[in-house]
Structure 1
Amino acid sequence: MYSGQRSPALMVTAALMVAIGLVLLVGGIQLIALGGSWYYAIAGAGFLATGVLLLVRKPAALWLYAVLLLGSLAWAYWEAGLDWWPLAARLGVPFLLGCWLLTPWPRRGLFDRRNSPEPVQHRARSKGGWGAVLVAAGLVLAVSIASWFNDPHRIEGVVPQVADGPPAVTEGVPAGEWHAYGRTGHGQRYSPLDQITPENVDELEVAWEYRTGDVRGQPGDPVETTFEVTPLKIGDRLYLCTPHQSIIALDATTGEEVWRVDPQIQGELALQHLTCRGLSYHPGPTSDALAAGEEPSVNAATPQDAAPTRAVEDAPAAATTRQTPSGAPVAAFDLPTTDDCTARLFMPTADGRVIALNPDDGRICRGFGNGTGQIDLWANMPHVNPGSYYSTSPAVVTESLLIIGGTVLDNVSTTEPSGVIRAFDVDTGELVWNWDPANPGQTDPLPDGQTYTPTSPNSWSISSVDEKLGLVYVPMGNQPPDQWGGNRSPEVERISSSVVALDLETGALRWVFQTVHHDLWDYDVPSQPSLIDLTIDGRQVPALVQPTKQGEVFVLDRRSGEPLLPVTERPVPQGAAEGDWAAPTQPVSALSYDPPPLQGRDMFGASLFDQMACRISLHKLRYEGRYTPPSVEGSLIYPGNFGVFNWGSVAVDPVRQVTFTTPARLAFVSRLIPREDDSTLYVNEPADAKDAPPHSALPNLNENFGAPFAVEMGPFTSMLGLPCQEPPWGFVAVSDLTTGEHIWRHKNGTVRDASPLPLPFEMGVPSLGGPIMTAGGVAFLSGTLDYYVRGYDVDNGEELWRARLPAGGQATPMTYLGSDGRQYLLVIAGGHGSIDTRAGDHVIAYALPSVQR
């Protein structure tokens, strides 16, 4: 020990080491008690001892810290390998402190030549210690740099070229058009246009931009107010809807507004979601020519050639607004009408209607719906509560039918409307059949005075149709409440979280494939099924591709529902909440994006501290792998109900028979709260609470009135708001639909718009909104949590092009041919309320500078 002036820098460093040591030691001991890693307690002791030695100015502090740094490196490499972000979370704090120790300021305080009684020996020990720290820090740096050139999550491969693949089925849709949500009723999200290629996609530029003037944040908006539309392109026009339900027609080549209609939806709605994913289209008598294979030229769609009109300006003056029994307006009484509706657009509204409009001018088709111009979806519904039932997704339209389901409130009560699927005459709006999932054998139209089964499983997503086989394919959700199923009927158990095939003529159930047995995780089937003909064992088989929230992609024979790729039943965790049970096994497909089970080593953070906290949280939660049942103590649900796949679905290439996917990895926490009555608010602020918002019609989500448990749900995040599991959290990938092989997979997206600082780190972020593929070999995606639209080489996954968006792009893009002969890419940038991406009202069209031949 020697005297001398103490360096403030050294004292601050020592105090910081002691503080870090105490935090890690206390947290580490708690983690050991929970059965977790010993590293944090050992490292805490090392930091603490280093700090004490620095306080007494002992050179041994440097040697000890070098050992600590090397031990941290060995531990980090053992847990994470050469994976940069997990290494950075573990080594960032020790490395930076080691670098600080090598600077002159703490060095001067540790060794003062003027006052040392043993200058030579002390200097030697100090220099040796600094050398040891330098070597340790250099090794950490070297390993970190090596990890920059390694991506253990990446799969490299190339899509095999197909010389004579099966032709793409257009279903009578001209190549340059987009007639349904997934382009056709098959839901492939594939365009036969090939003008944009990997060689020229980087030349795309903004051709035009249109602002709808409709953004979230209006009084009465729910959190999930979202701009999710995929527009239609018919003839020379685009047709789209906005979150607040306006319907707009644009010139497809210039972006100029042609007409706009506000359907004047009912106010004070009990909405969980406010969105419109798209419109539906019926061409009228011209369908015969299209079905025969005659593809008119792009400019030949004469029904749209009428003079531009703003339909809302022609609304008749009415002293009194007539309403449906549910209180919704009647379109034909409040908006401009016409008797000339050769073709029709169909718009589902948030107050539970489907409105029929003339594509020429936006006028309401008066002959539809018995003179009302609409269908009232509240007809024969139990528990009428405006806003608690409507369709967020476009209806399926066939030559003669309009088929539609609807969303019900999730986890609000056990007394919700029915999830019935109904088919209406496409010309008159008359009910043809109804299929009630809780009463599947009865499909004849329900007579007046009777109601469908309350709270039966619903279909809120997009259905697909094969008119040649005479089947409509419906992705089904669960019966509320999602996390407790102790009183579900046998019929509900059979239908929940499945894809079903219904007979187009009668509505009869032809087959059902259940993707989750006794669903307790909100793993409803969220994605539109994609219909594609696959060549398997030398024969062509009509297939259905069904992505799921839990990451399975089931490939089925769409005639029978039998798996074309193997499906096995695997044992899963047991021990559901009181009064409930868990299925002993769950189906797993040969084509699966199910992420590996989480372990302590998979926890993430911006530093050692929040990473340690995430490990502690993981060990406190119940978690036994996928399908761990929800519990009172809290269960980790991975994948969470955000889903590996959601409503954006996937894109399939019918020629090369591959699927372009956007799998996400996010864990959620589900905690059941026992209910003592059917009125107390357990997870929402009571109306008289201090600073509570004023009363509104918006529902109390997750209360589960009438069930034994309310539920608290949310993402599994650190104290800093980062996901507790390590990145990547989002990928793009291509897989072979005939074999289940993953051909390539790359992490996708940056945290530029999801972090406090706009740092464009390529960590891989989730997407909400689907991809599209083109015959030109380019796939497009705009739904990532950063504000970009990207173009990818389908062959190898290389990102070829990106363009900055003014808001979140959480919608599925589409592509079409303009009257100028150019292929356009259309992107919606409007943001998404539940993931808090920037709101906007942008419709943006991109095109090449000139036609590429």
Structure 2
Amino acid sequence: MKTAIVPKVSKQKCPAICGLILCMVLMVCNSGCNQKQDTYSNWGIYKADSESSSYSPLDQINKENVSNLALAWVFEPNDSLEGGRPRNSESNPIIIEDVLYTTSARGRLFAVHAGTGKLKWSFDPFDGERGGGIKRGVTYWENGPDKRILFTGGDKLFAIDAATGVPVPTFGNEGKVDLNQGMRGEPDKISVIPTSPGIIFEDLLILGTEVSELYGAEPGHVRAYNVRTGELVWTFHTIPKPGEVGHETWPADAWKYAGGANNWGGLSLDASREMVVFATGSPTYDYYGADRKGMNLFGNSVVAVNAKTGAYIWHFQTVHHDLWDYDLPAPPNLVTVEQNGRKIDAVAQTSKVGFLYVLDRETGESLFPIEERPVPSSDVPGEKAWPTQPFPLKPAPYARQYLDETDIADYSPSSRDSLLQVFRSLRYEGLFTPPSVGGTLQFPGSRGGSSWGGAAFDAHTGLLYVRSNDSPEIMRLKKVEPESTVTDLSVYKQGESIYISYCVSCHGRDRNGDEQGNPSLVGLKGRMSREDVLTKIKQGGGKMPNFSSVISGKAKEEAILAYLFENETKERPGRETSLLKEINSNQGAAPDPQTVDSLPRYLNLTAYGYFRDSKGRPGIKPPWGMLHAIDLNTGEYAWSVRLGNNPELQFGEQETGEAGSAGPTVTAGGLVFIAGTRDNKFRAFDKDTGEKLWEIDLPGFANANPSSYQVDGRQYIVLSVGGNSENTAGSVMAFSLPD
């Protein structure tokens, strides 16, 4: 593989070598079995350990001295394309002995010395091509001298020699496996791209995936690969086939055409029970489900399966027949709680709706009362919303779940009047109000509650730490007519039609994208060539699926390019096929025409559309983001504080709070570290009280979870930081106490 990456290392301080090394590396049995870490091990797994605790047992940095925390070193990948925009890396680095492994915003793999930031090696999975895409981390496995980094680049799974950065030739095809193989669709017409790393059990890498959220998406299989050979060992079907648990919760043939219900946020492992636990997203299409009537297992579910075989053990569904894109976005925290004097191994699952689900790890049953409550019905033809949804009674929701007119922002009389006018025009009956043609207010919103950063858990105190977002959205459905064509539209308007149908849900109606890894497309003409844009659309990458079937043919290529490059020509292309047929053919799926094609299709034209005023300000009063500590033994809150600030919208001394996706890290030093706010700050809070003890300005947006580790007797906190105008590739920044 070629690599033209020339990283830069900026050394701020040279850490002294102090005494004996107290920090032992990842505890791995001879076969590389479960990568369980001991008390003094480094951060050797995504989110710290197989339980996804995001907890560090290190206490060299603590409440008393955190105010002295300073920058130790900076590593700059320096792998941006010329003229590229600033990029964000969501990577949570892992550390094995004295080597830190991470990925850049463009998806390149780097190994650097964890005490200095000096480059050891790099690997480019795209062999010099543009590549890119979200990567939240990598996975490590070893067996004696055989030590490997497992990670994904695009739709390929790679096994890389941890010492040299060279692909392991005996793994798959010269070091890589095609993840499109073994799915339902034709491998050259689909795009299966994981964003979060897999987890190791014995000689298996268990891996979820990211799929399209449109009609015709691939199903979200969870799969296990042999770490040594790359062979596919088992597959768990999240959209069950006939004879499998949950098949009856779908139309009989839905397994042939329905998609989604995928694990994209990562997995957790209970090695002693040989159990892997994961959470899934919504079935597709996210906002309209006439072709998937039923509860739709295992969509929006916490699922436990046998780690060796993939056999079903239990599940708990948090949303029935999802119409809101209320994915379970993060790996479950495997925790132990105490109730009535009895210790219980449990699963704590965060959510976008702001509920925390605490489940018995043996059975999947809730440890706190849950009520199935009636919810509003759909008014969209063909839709049948599920009549009830589960409402945990404890813990109380950690995000706001209801709005009234007193919550509407009041920047000025005219701003408030316009927001009230919009609010009153929308359908809104509280949580789980279904999408509508006339418009629905969705709250907390698909970016509400908490996201892929998940929670951190301190087993010594029983406290779980989670951020929350209050981010209302507007949903507005539009029917796609079976015989509608766009032949009478200009090339530009045809492109706009394609964009609205397929792109607006991620990049926004204004093409500005969002912090969820969906980039802005404004000014695209100055950043990318026509050829590069077409390649990206056809091949996908990161969260973006393969749309080759959507723009097949010269006419559609010219149309989407005209719109993206803002070329408002009045020329008209040749005859086009119906939009409905394009939707049904998306991603290479082959639905049964008699089952699906006669059903209506609706698209949410304002998907992920914020509820804001005319100046782009949030439509509700702050706080918009908070950090919470929840006692899992009692279900009560220890504390809640506002997280982040927008000074331009701040009134008085109280900070506004800011929405974000990245999660916290908690340490034995009594600290909670968290970034991921648009004010570009990195903060530390007292884990017992929520008092802010330290903060530092960062050079960019740090949309990533921090890691903590110890090398040569010194503890570090390390964080992936996004790019800026001077350094578009971003950096990895490590902090420690001064000598």
Does the CA-based 8 Å contact 2:88-2:721 persist in structure 1? Answer: no
Change (3 A) 1:846 1:410: same
Q: Deviations over 1:101-139 (max 9, x none)?
A: xxxxxxxxxxxxxxxxxxxxxxxxxxxxxxxxxxxxxxx
Higher helix share: 1
Correspondence 1:553-564 to 2 at 5 A: 553-564=356-367
Q: Match for 2:265 among 461, 472, 489?
A: 461
In the TM superposition, what is the alpha-carbon distance from 1:679 to its structure 2 partner? Answer: 7.7
Q: Deviations over 1:514-538 (max 9, x none)?
A: 0111110000110110101222222
CA distance in 1, matches of 2:129, 2:583: 24
Structure 2 residue 238 is the aligned partner of structure 1 residue 437? yes
Change (3 A) 1:785 1:688: closer
Mean Cα deviation higher: 573-582 or 181-190: 573-582
Map of 1:343 onto structure 2: 147
Q: Match for 1:685 among 496, 515, 523?
A: 496
TM-score, normalisation: structure 2 = 0.76
Map of 1:200 onto structure 2: 65
CA distance in 2, matches of 1:210, 1:691: 29
SS at match of 2:283: coil
SS at match of 2:296: helix
Structure 2 residue 614 is the aligned partner of structure 1 residue 722? no
Does the CA-based 8 Å contact 1:441-1:508 persist in structure 2? Answer: no
Q: Deviations over 1:324-351 (max 9, x none)?
A: xxxxxxxxxxxxxxxxxx111101111x
Whichever residue aligns with residue 279 of structure 1, its letter is V
SS at match of 1:493: coil
Whichever residue aligns with residue 588 of structure 1, its letter is F
CA distance in 1, matches of 2:223, 2:483: 32
How many matched pairs? 603
Change (3 A) 1:208 1:386: farther
Map of 1:781 onto structure 2: 674
In the TM superposition, what is the alpha-carbon distance from 1:643 to its structure 2 partner? Answer: 2.4
Q: Match for 1:284 among 132, 136, 143?
A: 143
Map of 2:416 onto structure 1: 611
Map of 1:488 onto structure 2: 292
Change (3 A) 1:453 1:284: farther
Q: Deviations over 1:542-569 (max 9, x none)?
A: 1111000000100111111011122222
In the TM superposition, what is the alpha-carbon distance from 1:480 to its structure 2 partner? Answer: 1.5
CA distance in 1, matches of 2:128, 2:287: 31
Map of 2:124 onto structure 1: 262
Does the CA-based 8 Å contact 1:173-1:184 persist in structure 2? Answer: no
Correspondence 1:233-248 to 2 at 5 A: 233-248=95-110
Q: Match for 1:705 among 580, 583, 586?
A: 583
CA distance in 2, matches of 1:604, 1:688: 31
Map of 1:473 onto structure 2: 277
Does the CA-based 8 Å contact 2:377-2:433 persist in structure 1? Answer: yes
Q: CA RMSD in A?
A: 3.2
Structure 2 residue 684 is the aligned partner of structure 1 residue 791? yes
Q: Deviations over 1:376-403 (max 9, x none)?
A: 1111230445673211110111122111
Higher strand share: 2
CA distance in 1, matches of 2:96, 2:73: 18
In the TM superposition, what is the alpha-carbon distance from 1:433 to its structure 2 partner? Answer: 0.8
In the TM superposition, what is the alpha-carbon distance from 1:705 to its structure 2 partner? Answer: 2.2
In the TM superposition, what is the alpha-carbon distance from 1:684 to its structure 2 partner? Answer: 6.5
Map of 1:597 onto structure 2: 402
Does the CA-based 8 Å contact 1:651-1:661 persist in structure 2? Answer: yes
Whichever residue aligns with residue 428 of structure 2, its letter is Y
Does the CA-based 8 Å contact 2:104-2:729 persist in structure 1? Answer: no
SS at match of 1:408: coil
Correspondence 1:505-520 to 2 at 5 A: 505-520=308-323
Q: Match for 2:42 among 149, 174, 177?
A: 177
Q: Match for 1:191 among 42, 56, 63?
A: 56
Change (3 A) 1:422 1:727: same
In the TM superposition, what is the alpha-carbon distance from 1:257 to its structure 2 partner? Answer: 0.6
Change (3 A) 1:587 1:756: closer
In the TM superposition, what is the alpha-carbon distance from 1:581 to its structure 2 partner? Answer: 1.4
CA distance in 2, matches of 1:430, 1:818: 35
Map of 1:762 onto structure 2: 655
CA distance in 2, matches of 1:481, 1:673: 13
CA distance in 1, matches of 2:436, 2:707: 42
Structure 2 residue 582 is the aligned partner of structure 1 residue 582? no
In the TM superposition, what is the alpha-carbon distance from 1:680 to its structure 2 partner? Answer: 5.7
Change (3 A) 1:441 1:426: farther
Map of 2:702 onto structure 1: 809
TM-score, normalisation: structure 1 = 0.66
Change (3 A) 1:720 1:279: same
In the TM superposition, what is the alpha-carbon distance from 1:439 to its structure 2 partner? Answer: 2.5
Map of 1:636 onto structure 2: 441
SS at match of 2:471: coil
In the TM superposition, what is the alpha-carbon distance from 1:177 to its structure 2 partner? Answer: 0.6
CA distance in 1, matches of 2:485, 2:722: 36
Change (3 A) 1:803 1:216: farther
Does the CA-based 8 Å contact 1:463-1:475 persist in structure 2? Answer: yes
CA distance in 2, matches of 1:452, 1:365: 35
Change (3 A) 1:262 1:217: same
Does the CA-based 8 Å contact 2:466-2:627 persist in structure 1? Answer: yes
Does the CA-based 8 Å contact 2:264-2:281 persist in structure 1? Answer: yes
Change (3 A) 1:612 1:842: same
Whichever residue aligns with residue 137 of structure 2, its letter is G
In the TM superposition, what is the alpha-carbon distance from 1:687 to its structure 2 partner? Answer: 7.2
SS at match of 2:233: strand
Whichever residue aligns with residue 642 of structure 2, its letter is K
Does the CA-based 8 Å contact 1:729-1:764 persist in structure 2? Answer: yes
CA distance in 1, matches of 2:454, 2:410: 30
Map of 2:194 onto structure 1: 391
Map of 1:828 onto structure 2: 720
Whichever residue aligns with residue 742 of structure 1, its letter is Y
Whichever residue aligns with residue 228 of structure 2, its letter is D
SS at match of 1:364: coil
CA distance in 1, matches of 2:147, 2:499: 52
Does the CA-based 8 Å contact 1:203-1:849 persist in structure 2? Answer: yes
Q: Deviations over 1:187-231 (max 9, x none)?
A: 000011111111110000001111111458977x9x9x6410000
Map of 1:251 onto structure 2: 113
Aligned-residue sequence identity (percent) comes to 33
CA distance in 1, matches of 2:138, 2:499: 41
Does the CA-based 8 Å contact 2:283-2:322 persist in structure 1? Answer: no
State the structure with bigger RCO (CA 8 A, min sep 6), 1 or 2. Answer: 2
Whichever residue aligns with residue 724 of structure 1, its letter is G
Q: Deviations over 1:129-174 (max 9, x none)?
A: xxxxxxxxxxxxxxxxxxxxxxxxxxxxxxxxxxxxxxxx992346
Structure 2 residue 454 is the aligned partner of structure 1 residue 649? yes
Correspondence 1:2-81 to 2 at 5 A: none
Whichever residue aligns with residue 845 of structure 1, its letter is A
Change (3 A) 1:494 1:635: same
Unaligned ranges ≥5, structure 2: 1-33, 245-254, 487-492, 501-521, 538-546, 551-559, 561-578, 585-599
SS at match of 2:424: helix
Structure 2 residue 134 is the aligned partner of structure 1 residue 275? yes
CA distance in 1, matches of 2:81, 2:445: 26
Map of 2:178 onto structure 1: 376
In the TM superposition, what is the alpha-carbon distance from 1:418 to its structure 2 partner? Answer: 2.6
Structure 2 residue 404 is the aligned partner of structure 1 residue 526? no
In the TM superposition, what is the alpha-carbon distance from 1:746 to its structure 2 partner? Answer: 1.1
CA distance in 2, matches of 1:510, 1:550: 26
SS at match of 2:337: strand
Whichever residue aligns with residue 277 of structure 1, its letter is R
